[in-house]
Amino acid sequence: MTKSIEIMCVGNELLIGKVVNTNAHWLTKRITTLGLKVNRITVVGDDVNEISTAIKEALKRKPKFIITTGGLGPTFDDKTLQGIAEALNRPLETNPKALKMIEERYQKYMEEGKIGKKIELTPPRVKMATLPKNAEPLPNPVGTAPGVIIKQDDTTTIVALPGVPPEMEAIFDGSVTPMLKQVAGNVTFYETTIMVDGIMESDIAPLIDKTMHDNPYVYIKSHPGRASEGKPHLKLHLSTTSPDSNTAKSRVTKALIQITELAQAKGGKTKPVKSENALENLKKKPA
pLDDT in tens, 186-223: 788 888 999 999 998 889 999 999 999 999 989 999 98
CB atoms within 10 A of CB 214: 12
Beta-ladder partners of 197: 233, 269
- Candidates 35, 60, 63; CA nearest to 279 is 35
Locate CATH 3.30.70.1130 in the chain: 188-284
What value, to the nearest 5°, has the Cα angle with vertex 95 and ends 89 and 99?
145
The topology under which CATH files domain 188-284 is Alpha-Beta Plaits (3.30.70)
Q: What are phi and psi of 72, to 5 degrees?
A: -110, 0
Question: Residue 135: pLDDT above 90?
Answer: yes
pLDDT of residue 111: 83
pLDDT of residue 87: 97
Identify whether the C-beta of residue 243 lies closer than 8 Å to the C-beta of residue 188: yes
Identify the band that residue 41 occupies on the pLDDT scale cut at 50, 70 and 90.
very high
Identify the band that residue 39 occupies on the pLDDT scale cut at 50, 70 and 90.
very high
Query: CA–CA separation, 228 vs 213, rounded Å?
Result: 30
Locate CATH 3.40.980.10 in the chain: 4-184
pLDDT of residue 120: 85
**Mean per-residue pLDDT, 252-261:** 95
Question: Residue 117: pLDDT above 90?
Answer: no
Question: Residue 287: pLDDT above 70?
Answer: no
Query: CA–CA separation, 262 vs 250, rounded Å?
Result: 19
CATH class of 4-184: alpha beta
pLDDT of residue 1: 41
Please tell me the pTM assigned to this model.
Answer: 0.80
**Mean per-residue pLDDT, 155-173:** 96
Identify the band that residue 3 occupies on the pLDDT scale cut at 50, 70 and 90.
confident
**Mean per-residue pLDDT, 161-184:** 94
**Mean per-residue pLDDT, 4-12:** 97
- How high is the mean pLDDT of the chain? 90
pLDDT of residue 215: 94
pLDDT of residue 175: 97
Query: CA–CA separation, 212 vs 235, rounded Å?
Result: 16
Max mean pLDDT range (52-66, 106-120, 194-208, 222-236): 52-66
- Candidates 112, 143, 108; CA nearest to 128 is 143
The more confident residue out of 120 and 207 is 207
SS3 87: helix
